Structure 1
């Protein structure tokens, strides 16, 4: 049975995904769902390797390379050879992708203003702390899942 916290987290995730889908970025229309997952994973993990992304998304290396090539050609991600081990390639999102995801600044500004006006300052501070910790925990769990696979 799903707890109320789990249900709230699922609802939040779904609402945010629907919001992004409604925006329907023209630049991202060429992407399939898996491409978007690659972008999100690369963005969240900062500079992951191709192997890390393959494991995280449960994709074969050839399939991952196909999607990576597509995202590089669209100038949404870049490859960077590791300074120490030249056999390792790191992936990063480009400033173009960052601009796309930050283009909804008005929405986020309005949301922040409403939260600040409708929620007590102490509650909002707790909410921000809990959000940061939630992101850290989910990131750690994702990395651990990737390592254990």
Structure 2
């Protein structure tokens, strides 16, 4: 059942994305879209942190980031604590794109809150917390990230 729900979220996102790009070519490739989702979820990683998380070389990451910068989906922001370091930050252009997916998640969550009791919602929250914190050790997201 979980896989079915996950697929419905993905399919809704694809429906909305394709319908919006019906009359024009989408500017993000599939790999770039995945990269942007990772950058957003990681919460302003450095290029090195992004490369390490995605298990790709720093040069490959830098190439992908360069393309995303040219397309206007991400920007490099100098670290306040270490001027030699730059963090990746999604631009408003990406946030508008991302909103396609996140707005549907919020709609479904609103429906869940209307449909189920506080007790059920508390239990659901407990289950999701255990899933995220204990049952998915392969995906470690820094505390500053975790937007999802």
Question: Does the pair score TM above 0.5?
Answer: yes
- Closer/same/farther in 2, CA of residues 79 and 28 from structure 1, 3 Å limit: farther
Alpha-carbon distance between aligned partners in 2 of 1:128 and 1:49, rounded to the nearest angstrom: 31
1:124 Cα deviation (Å)?
Answer: 1.7
Give the helix-richer structure, 1 or 2.
Answer: 1
1:1-149 matches, within 5 Å, as: 8=2, 10-24=3-17, 25-26=20-21, 29-103=26-100, 107-108=104-105, 110-132=107-129, 134-135=131-132, 138=136, 141-143=139-141
Please, which moves more after superposition, 130-139 or 26-35?
130-139
1:89 Cα deviation (Å)?
Answer: 1.6
Alpha-carbon distance between aligned partners in 2 of 1:67 and 1:122, rounded to the nearest angstrom: 45
Please, which moves more after superposition, 69-78 or 105-114?
105-114
Secondary structure of 1:142 counterpart: coil
Report the count of equivalent residues. 137
- Closer/same/farther in 2, CA of residues 93 and 15 from structure 1, 3 Å limit: same
Stretches of structure 2 that go unaligned for 5 or more consecutive residues are 143-148
- Closer/same/farther in 2, CA of residues 68 and 139 from structure 1, 3 Å limit: farther
1:129 Cα deviation (Å)?
Answer: 4.5
Q: Which has the higher contact order (CA 8 A, sep 6+)?
A: 2
Please, which moves more after superposition, 72-81 or 106-115?
106-115
